[in-house]
Amino acid sequence: MAESTLPNFEKVVFGRLKESDEFQSYENAFRLATGLPLRFVRMDEKWCLSEHNENQSPFCEIINKCKSACQQCIETNRQLLEKVEVDGPMTCGCFAGLCATAVPVRLGSTTLGFLKTGQVFRQQPTEEDFQRVIKRLTGQGFDSEKSKILHQAYFQTKTIDPKRYDSMILLLETFADQLSRHADNLVIILDGSEPEAIAKARRLIHARLDEPIRLADLAAAAGLSESHFCRTFKEVTKLTVTDYTTRARISAARKELLRPASRISDIAFQVGFQSLSQFNRSFAKLVGCSPTKFRETELAKAEIRA
């Protein structure tokens, strides 16, 4: 995948997501229920398995150390994340016959990171399979004296029926959607360290989403001059007042779009947009698709879960 670096603000949101109770609880539940490993990695994070993670394949751990990582695994991971960033959740196989899956977590149209799992076989490997693998690794400089250890690790790696594996990935996609929504909330809901003046202004914005809000009213609620208020608001939220208000309105719209009977044009005005075209543009910019497409996708997922 091409070298890219997340802006500092997105890195902060990623860090908060990874440390959140929501992620930690799901991470433990997913690992316990499926027996699969789970990692949440940034899009600009280098591939590395130097640490031991619960349920991680012992085979992958042996051949993927930072200082002598298998180049085929690095390349497979790079290609997987490149494709997932553009096309969405995807599963691929590696040269050793194991599969890996990545699911994107987004903040609007920005990919914050990926939920990654796999390191399993989807059909039982054979001795002939292992011999092909060890021959390839030995040709790349792998220490042949470690082949006995690698043999044991190879056949200790889990084999999961493809249909069962696909069901596990559906759970992961559902959680990725929840994390993406939580990312939106993290942009809007800050921790208790924010100044009370800014908290008052934010509460006013959320209370009056359905109507135009004058900068003078927000500054008055905060007890600051307009210029001081704008500067402080940007320092605290990392967003301008306009950008923050737009995100708050889109967040509210996403919830309303899950009601099939609500007309999209009515939702647009309900959350404070002055025209349907303005709503459509803002929604697509932040969410990455049109309101209609978002509704279709979310309702289809709800039907599958039911």
Over 60: is that where the pLDDT of 69 sits?
Answer: no
- pLDDT digits 0-9 by tens, 89-114: 999 988 889 999 999 998 766 788 99
Q: Is residue 1 part of a domain?
A: no
With beta carbons less than 8 A apart as the criterion, state whether 103 and 169 touch.
yes
Last residue of a domain, one of 138, 164, 185: 185
Asked if residue 40 belongs to a domain, the reply is yes
Q: Both 237 and 96 in a single domain?
A: no
Q: Is 104 in contact with 284 (CB distance < 8 Å)?
A: no
Pair of tokens at residue 267: 């939702």
Instruction: State whether 47 and 163 are in the same domain.
Output: yes
Specify the long-range contacts of residues 11-14, CB closer than 8 Å, at least 24 apart: 11/42, 12/238, 13/107, 13/112, 13/183, 13/186, 13/187, 14/42, 14/112, 14/113
Token representation of residue 65? 């150390």
Which DSSP state fits 159?
A: B
pLDDT at 162: 93
Q: What are 232-264's pLDDT values in tens digits?
A: 998 887 789 999 899 889 988 988 898 888 999
Place of tokens 């990392």: 238
- The rounded percent of the chain whose pLDDT value lies above 90 is 37
Q: CA separation (Å) from 244 to 33, 180, 183, 200, 223?
A: 38, 17, 14, 14, 19
Q: How remote is the C-alpha of 21 from its chain's centroid?
A: 15
Q: Are residues 113 and 211 in the same domain?
A: no
Q: In what order do the strands lie in the sheet with 99-107?
A: 39-42, 110-120, 99-107, 90-93
Q: Which domain covers residue 99, as residue numbers?
A: 8-185
Q: Is the pTM of this model over 0.75?
A: no
Fill in the amino acid letter for 99: C
